[in-house]
C-alpha cells in the first residue's frame, strides 16, 4: 500500500516527506494506522549520527494508532484496536523469557538494524529499499507494520495523542523508579535533568510516596513545571561544585535514590555523590562511547552504594504500559503536561524544537 513517511537520507539533514510502498503484514505482524508519534532524544541522536544507522531510513519509536490488519498467526489483536507501540524484542532468549525484554540478546539489531532480524525491510520507493523497523516501528509514517510483540492494546477512550510517549520516554523514566528503584514511602530521590524522561521519573516518585523529590536542571521553566508535577525542591544547575553543594543542602544526609538523565560525566559524578549510605543511582542518559565517570570507587565501597544502568525502564511493555495508563487515568501521571503537538508535515520543526530543548515532548499528529 502507498503511505506517507518522513525519510532520513543523510545524517544531520532534514527529513523529507515521501510517498513509499509499505508491504502487507506477514505472519506475526500487524498493520497500524498512526494517530500520533512522540519524538524522543534518541530520534535526534540517530538523525545526527550520534548513533549511526543504515540509510535511507524512517525513524520514530513512540507510535500510537489503530490496527487496520493482522497477519497470520496473530492473536489478541484485531482490526479496530487502539494500540501503543514499544521497542522490539525476540521473545525467545533468556532475558525475554524472564520478562526482561529490554535486555534481549538481539536488542541491537532488532531496534537499530534498519529492518527485521533477517535484514528485510517493509518499505520501498520505486524499487529503492528504505530501511524500516526502527525500534521495531519506524513510526514517522502514516502506517507501520510491526511485530505483534511490539503492540500494546489499550482502551478506545485512551487519548493516543497524549499517551504516545509511554512507549519509550515515559516508561524509561517512570520504569526506572517503579520497576527498578521501587522506593519506599518516605524515601528521597533526586533527578538530574528534567526532560521528558526525568519528569516521568519524578512523577513516578511522587506516585510511589517519596516525600523529598529534588529536580535539578539548567532551564528554569522546566523546574517550575517539575514543581507542579511533584518535585518538592528544585536546584538550578550552575557549576558542578555549586550544584552538588545545593543538592546536598536539600538533604544533608544524602538521598536514598538518584537518577541521571543527562549523559554528562560530571553530572553522573554529582548524582553518585548526592547519595546517602546504601543509596542507589540509576543511569538513564545517552552516554558517548568510552565515557569515564569521575568518582572514587572507594565512595561506592565504603558507603554500600549501587550504580546501575537501566534500559527502557526495565519494562515489559505489555505489562507495564497498562499500569502507566492506569496511573494516568487516576491523575497520577499527567503526561499531557509535557506534550506539545505538531502536525506530521512539521516534523523538522518539531525535531529542532526537541534538539534545542524549546519543548519538552513533541508529539506528531497524523491526518485522520
Which run of H or E residues covers position 281?
strand 275-283
**pLDDT single digits (tens) 14-38:** 999 999 999 999 999 999 999 999 9
Give the CATH number of the domain where residue 22 resides: 3.90.180.10
* CB neighbour list of residue 90: distance below 8 Å, 6 or more residues apart: 96, 104, 105, 106, 110, 117
For the beta carbon of residue 297, count every other beta carbon within 10 angstroms: 7
Domain count, the chain: 2
Name residues whose C-beta falls within 8 Å of residue 285's C-beta, 6 or more positions apart in sequence.
Answer: 193, 260, 261, 262, 263, 264, 267, 268
Say whether both 54 and 121 belong to one domain. yes
pLDDT of residue 332: 97
Q: 188 — phi, psi (to 5°)? A: -115, 150
93 and 163 together in one domain: yes
CA atoms of 128 and 58, how far apart (whole Å) = 13
Q: What is the pLDDT of residue 354?
A: 87
The average pLDDT across 259-276 equals 96
**Could you tell me the three cell numbers for 297?**
570507587
> Rg of the chain's alpha carbons, rounded to an integer?
20
* pLDDT over 90 at 294, yes or no: no
Q: In sequence order, which residues have a C-beta less than 8 Å from that of residue 240 and are 6 or more positions away?
A: 266, 267, 269, 270
For residue 190, cis peptide bond before it (omega within 30 degrees of 0): no
Q: Is the pLDDT of residue 144 over 90?
A: yes
Report the relative pairing of strands 306-309 and 123-125 from DSSP bridges: unpaired
Domain match, 108 and 6 both: yes
pLDDT tens string 152-200: 999 999 999 999 999 999 999 999 999 999 999 999 999 999 999 999 9
- 160 and 177 in one domain? no
Mean pLDDT of all residues belonging to the chain: 96
Closest CA to 170 of 206, 137, 131, 196: 196
Q: Which residue has the cell 525502564?
A: 313
Per-residue model confidence as pLDDT tens digits over 35-53? 999 999 999 999 999 899 9
Residue 357 has a pLDDT of 82
- Quote the CA–CA distance of 214 and 190 in Å, as a whole number: 5
Q: What percent of the chain has pLDDT over 90?
A: 93
Q: Is residue 332 part of a domain?
A: no
Give the pLDDT confidence score for residue 244 in this predicted structure: 95
- Give me the mean pLDDT over the 79-103 stretch: 97
How high is the pLDDT of residue 210? Answer: 98
Query: pTM value?
Result: 0.94
- Has residue 9 been placed in a domain? yes
**pLDDT, tens digit, for every residue of 352-368?**
998 888 899 999 999 98
Dump pLDDT digits (tens) for 49-75: 989 999 999 999 999 999 999 999 999
Q: What is the CATH number of the domain that holds 248?
A: 3.40.50.720
Of the candidates 33, 17, 39, 3, the residue with the CA atom closest to the CA atom of residue 355: 39
pLDDT of residue 305: 97
Q: Which domain holds residue 262?
A: 173-311
Distance, in Å, from the CA atom of 204 to the CA atom of 332, rounded to the nearest integer, reads 8
If you average pLDDT over residues 337-350, what whole number do you get? Answer: 97
Amino acid at each position: 500500500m502507498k503511505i506517507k513517511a518522513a525519510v532520513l537520507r543523510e545524517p544531520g539533514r532534514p527529513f523529507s516527506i515521501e510517498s513509499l510502498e509499505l508491504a502487507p503484514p506477514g505472519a506475526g505482524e500487524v498493520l497500524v494506522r498512526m494517530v500520533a508519534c512522540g519524538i524522543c532524544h534518541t530520534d535526534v541522536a540517530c538523525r545526527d549520527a550520534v548513533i549511526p544507522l543504515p540509510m535511507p531510513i524512517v525513524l520514530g519509536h513512540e507510535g500510537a494508532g489503530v490496527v487496520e490488519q493482522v497477519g497470520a498467526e496473530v492473536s489478541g489483536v484485531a482490526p479496530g484496536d487502539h494500540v501503543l507501540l514499544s521497542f522490539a524484542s525476540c521473545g525467545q532468549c533468556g532475558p525475554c523469557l524472564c520478562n526482561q525484554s529490554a535486555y534481549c540478546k538481539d536488542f541491537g539489531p532488532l531496534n537499530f538494524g534498519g529492518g527485521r532480524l533477517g535484514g528485510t525491510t517493509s518499505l520501498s520507493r520505486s524499487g529503492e529499499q528504505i530501511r524500516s523497523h526502527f525500534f521495531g516501528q519506524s513510526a514517522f509514517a502514516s502506517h507501520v507494520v510491526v511485530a505483534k510483540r511490539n503492540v500494546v492494546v489499550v482502551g478506545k477512550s485512551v487519548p493516543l495523542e497524549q499517551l504516545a510517549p509511554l512507549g519509550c520516554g515515559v516508561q524509561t523514566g517512570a520504569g526506572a523508579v517503579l520497576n527498578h528503584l521501587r522506593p519506599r514511602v518516605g524515601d528521597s530521590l533526586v533527578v538530574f535533568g528534567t526532560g521528558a524522561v526525568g519528569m516521568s521519573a519524578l512523577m513516578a516518585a511522587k506516585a510511589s510516596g517519596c516525600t523529598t523529590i529534588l529536580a535539578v536542571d539548567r532551564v528554569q521553566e522546566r523546574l517550575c513545571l517539575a514543581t507542579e508535577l511533584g518535585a518538592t525542591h528544585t536546584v538550578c544547575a550552575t557549576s558542578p561544585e555549586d550544584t552538588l553543594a545545593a543538592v546536598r543542602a536539600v538533604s544533608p544526609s544524602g538521598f536514598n535514590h538518584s537518577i541521571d538523565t543527562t549523559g554528562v560525566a560530571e553530572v553522573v559524578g554529582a548524582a553518585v555523590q548526592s547519595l546517602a549510605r546504601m543509596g542507589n543511582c540509576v543511569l538513564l542518559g545517552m552516554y558517548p562511547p568510552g565515557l569515564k565517570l569521575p568518582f572514587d570507587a572507594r565512595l561506592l565501597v565504603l558507603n554500600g552504594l549501587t550504580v546501575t544502568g537501566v534500559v527502557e525502564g526495565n519494562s515489559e511493555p505489555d505489562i507495564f504500559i497498562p499500569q502507566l495508563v492506569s496511573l494516568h487515568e487516576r491523575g497520577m501521571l499527567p503526561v499531557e503536561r509535557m506534550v506539545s503537538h505538531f502536525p506530521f508535515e512539521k516534523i523538522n520543526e518539531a525535531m529542532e524544537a526537541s534538539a534545542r530543548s524549546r519543548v519538552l515532548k513533541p508529539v506528531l499528529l497524523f491526518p485522520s
